[in-house]
Structure formats: C-alpha cells, structure tokens
Amino acid sequence: MIYKFDFLIIGGGVAGMSYALKVANSGKGKVALVCKTTLDETNTSKAQGGIASVTNLKVDNFDKHIEDTMIAGDFISDRKAVEHVVRNAPEAINDLLQWGVNFDKKEDGSFDLHREGGHSEFRILHHADDTGYEIQRGLMAAVKANKNITIFENHYAVEIITQHHLGVEVTRKTPDIECYGAYILNPDTQKIDTFLSRVTLMATGGTGAVYATTSNPNIATGDGIAMVYRAKGTVKDMEFVQFHPTVLYNPTETHPAFLITEALRGYGGILRLPDGEEFMQKYDKRLSLAPRDIVARAIDREMKIHGLNHVCLDVTHKDAEETKRQFPNIYAKCLSIGIDMTRQYIPVCPSAHYMCGGIKVNLNGESSIKRLYAVGECSCTGLHGGNRLASNSLIEAVVYAKSAAEHSIKTIDNYTYNMHVPEWNDEGTMSNEEKVLIAQDEREVGQIMSNYVGIVRSNLRLHRAWKRLDLLYEETEELFKRVKPTRDICELRNMINVGYLITRQAIERKESRGLHYTIDYPKHAYDKK
C-alpha cells in the first residue's frame, strides 16, 4: 500500500503533536501522525515535574534562565539554541494553553511555580505531579479534533526513504541526501507500507530502553536516531545520557521504573542513606538540589561505597496533607508498595532518563538530510549541552516544533512526491526460536549499557561494550536480512545502533564533561592541570 501525505510525522508526543497542530491548519496539505503504539503512550506522558518558562517577571528574567541552562549544560550548550528556547518559551506556554492544557494556579490566578535542581528561581509550571500526562491529554484532544490530521496508531516506522532506496550509493560524504518519506509496518496486514511525503518530521523520543533500568516506557528504543544514522544523517552528543537521580527502587518495575520527580526535592525532600545520614554536603553546596549529573554520581558512589541497591528520599518533615495534595500520584504509588511517604523514607536509585544528544538540527529543526526535521528528545538542538536542566525538555519540544512548522510551511511548495520509490521487499519468515533470541539479545543490550556505559565510565568498560555490541550487530543484521521484519527485530536493530553511538561518542570524548564522567580522565575539562 502506498500513502501520500504532505507532512509525515513519526512520533506522537509533545513534539510530534505540537508540530502537527501548527501545520495542519496551514492550508499546505494533509498530515499523517504515525504512532508506534497508542497515541497516549509516550515519554511525554511520563514526565512529572513540569515545564520551564520565565513567567514571574517580578523576580525572574530570561538572562537568569539562560545562565542556569548554560551552567547545567557544563558550558558546551549552543548559546543561540538556549536563547531561542528561553526567549520563545512564554509564547510556547500560551500555545499549550490555547490547545487546552491546564497548569496549576494560585488563588490570585498566577501560576503556582515550582523550583527544581539547577534553577535559580521558581519557574516550573506544573499540573500536580503529572504535568506530562496533562500536556499529552490536552494535545491529544486537539489533534483528534483536527480533520486535517490522520492518526496511525500501532504503526511502526522501519526506515526513512532516501536516494539509497532508488539504487544510489549514499555515504556520510554524499551531499544533498533527501528524505522522501518512510517505510512503515502496518499492524493489520503485517506488511510494510510506503508513506510518501513532501516533508517528514522525526519525533520519536528518547533512548532509555537501551538500559536495564529506565524511567522511560519500553518504546523508548531510539528508533528515530537509529533510522537517521543508518540514512547517513548527522548524530551528535550521544555520550550525554542523563540518569535521573531518583526513580522508585522496585526490582519488579524497570521499564519504566516509576519516576520520583525532582520537584519533590525542590519541595524540601532530603537525600539520605537508609540509616538517616545525609550525604549530599560531601558533593555540592546546593545539596539535594544540585544538577542531575552531580546528584546521580553522588548517589551512585554512595551505593557502591556502602554496598546498597538504593538510597532514600525523605519528606517526612514536611506537612503530610500538603505532601499528599502536591504529589498525589507519587503518594499513591508509594502506598501501593507499602510505603507511606509522609512517615517513611522513599527508596530511590538512579535510572536512565533522558538523551541530551540525538539528530543534529539547526534553529529551524532541520536535520542534515533535506526535507527531514527532528524535534524533541530525538533531536540535538544544542540546548542541553553536557547535561539537561530540569524541565527544559518539554519547552524545547514546543518551541522547536513551532520553528520547524514555520520553516516547513514556507518551504514545502519546493518539494514534490518522489513516485520512483520502490515498495518494500518483505520476503522471509520468523520462527519462535528467533523470537526468543531477539528477546534475549534485547536484555543483553540493556546489561551491556548499564554495566559498561552507565553513570561512571572507563576506557576498559567502553571498549568491552563496543566489542559486545559489535557481535550483536553482526548477528542481528544477518537475521534482519532473511526474516520478515517485525517490530521486535526492528527495535533490537535500533537499540544496538543507539548503544553503539553512545559508546563510540563516549570513547571519542577524552575528558569528563557534563553527564560523561570517566575515571580515565577524572579532571574536569577546564580544571587546572
């Protein structure tokens, strides 16, 4: 089956839906929104803490938010990208409000602002402790109500289409690589359909599922990044994997592990060892509200020193009713495993959380491949640098979705459908034995990445990961060539590609910087030698 859409969007989180809503009413044509599972299963919907924007001008300003972002990013953020997001953030908040998203307000009608680690002011808009879900809910309703947007749920993007599929040899040095759409697996027919487009947007989210424990849902297998890399697009800063310092320690839930939002520490939560001893004073003067890379490394070190599988977060000194009111979902979740957070410590540990790198894009959201944009966690705008400042990701997605939409609306008339694209050859079969091997290999990728490419790295660990991933790569590519593609094997391919990119770019960075910490280069990049 061949489909033709003017705008093809792969991914249905805040990035994909914001872009869809911006282009849908432009008069430039039809929009396809392709979702890997259901529209409500995204990284966006799992985001708890909130969305950062300067709104209280009495105490806050753009310069403060810019500086906080640069500091958190370890001074390798692209300042132009930082200014672009920060200065356009209030307008992006207005867009969300117009699309029906609600944020908590005080009695006087002003926003009820939180503060999170690395922020110098209270500037985090939120909806209780399920901000991401509220944003997802509002945007889903708006998208479903728009007659110009066709939603394809449970459709899986296998590859983007370029000159390569027309028989042209494409390398990383090939100029003017173009994207003509994507090959997408149809769940009803189990065949791969051809989606032709004039413009394509990649909004596939993050990569957390390549690690053994993550706050991301299972679907976060880095599909968009892997597809663009295989199409010879530029991928950057993959070594900067943000580990959230605090997910709920619960061995039965690892994909996703339940996130204990940073806002809980902004609220006054204190990190302690299980015996009650505080430890953050040994690592940073900002204590429990230090940036995430510092807190995650501190927790990792304390767990190793004391032989622990978790540390604790303490909010027992706070007013119990206020805690329940501010964090109802976290309270309910803890209670479900027998912990009353108003009277007991919450067991927490670090977990893979956010990819700061990804598909390299400019201020318009354009990738190195023509006609292909990337927005959200799968993109690398330069905003985050070496480490993402808390709650900057959702706002980045909305701001860049608008930039990408405006640019694609202006340029789409320059492009036509490429009608020479061949249909996918889907010969082959898959046995149950092969399915078992795929599941085993996925677990192995998670173990390799967590053991060797985690919070603390070394040359030895990274090269071990490289060798093991290379073996898995060869085995998986051989299997992929002779079986009928399924979501399982496509995800495994993508996970191996992403693991390889993280590992390779970590090996290439001969310094400790931001989220990349290696014992072979323990001195910080700008420490005195």
Separation between Cα atoms, residue 490 and residue 59, nearest integer Å: 49
CA 241, chain centre distance (Å)? 10
- Cα three-residue angle 272-277-279, rounded to 5 degrees: 65
Supply 156's token pair.
């899986």
Select which of 292, 371, 493, 513 is catalytic: 292
Q: Of all helices (H) and strands (E), which one includes residue 346?
A: strand 346-355
Q: Of all helices (H) and strands (E), which one includes residue 9?
A: strand 2-10
End-to-end CA distance of the chain: 62
Which DSSP symbol is given to 249?
Answer: -
Supply 405's token pair.
């939409």
Cβ count near 515 (within 10 Å): 29
Separation between Cα atoms, residue 105 and residue 136, nearest integer Å: 19
Supply 470's token pair.
């290379």
The answer to whether 13 and 136 have CB atoms below 8 angstroms apart is: yes
CA dihedral in degrees (440, 431, 182, 494; nearest 10)? 10
In our burial notation (b when 16+ CB lie closer than 10 A, e otherwise), range 65-77 reads bbebbbbbbbebb
292 catalytic per annotation: yes
The answer to whether 188 and 332 have CB atoms below 8 angstroms apart is: no
Helices marked H in 307-431 — which ranges? Answer: 320-326, 328-336, 392-411
Backbone angles phi, psi at 341, to 5 degrees: -65, -15
For residue 222, is it left (φ>0), alpha (ψ between -120 and 50) or beta? Answer: left
Which residues are registered as beta bridge partners of 379?
359
Question: How far from 232 is each of 51, 441, 496, CA to CA, in Å?
Answer: 33, 25, 16
CA 348, chain centre distance (Å)? 21
The answer to whether 325 and 309 have CB atoms below 8 angstroms apart is: no
Q: Sort strands 346-355 and 311-314 into parallel, antiparallel or unpaired.
A: antiparallel
**Active centre residues (catalytic):** 292
